Amino acid sequence: MELELVALLALCIVGPATFAVFEVETPAWRKILKWAVVCGLTLLLAQRAGHWSLLVPGLLGAAGLTFHMVWCRRHGIHPLHATPRRRYYELRGWTWVE
């Protein structure tokens, strides 16, 4: 279980630090729910499947990153910087404030 906790901690540190620019206007409850589901599934599966449970955050992360890259490229958004910012806000349905 220690390996799973270390991996989840690393994801919870690196993930938001890297992709926070894409979640500026996302409500806190959605971000909390997302991490609660990933951590909950991983830890529940760890009891039955052992280290194989690390496939949950790995596969969900890979799927999310693939979708993110494709979506950003398709809409003309830089996938690491969320620029042009105004366009990104429009696509997300957020209000742009200058």
Write down the pLDDT at residue 96.
Answer: 87
Mean pLDDT across the stretch 54-73? 92
Mean pLDDT across the stretch 22-40? 90
In this predicted structure, the answer to whether residue 15 has a pLDDT above a threshold of 90 is no
Q: Taking Cα atoms as reference points, which of 60, 55, 54 lies closest to residue 2?
A: 54
82-to-30, 58, 72, 90 alpha-carbon distances in Å: 19, 23, 8, 12
In this predicted structure, the answer to whether residue 98 has a pLDDT above a threshold of 80 is no
pTM for this prediction: 0.75
d(CA 27, CA 45): 28
Phi, psi (deg, nearest 5) at residue 43: -70, -35
Mean pLDDT across the stretch 32-42? 90
In this predicted structure, the answer to whether residue 12 has a pLDDT above a threshold of 90 is no
Q: Domain ranges in the chain?
A: 2-92
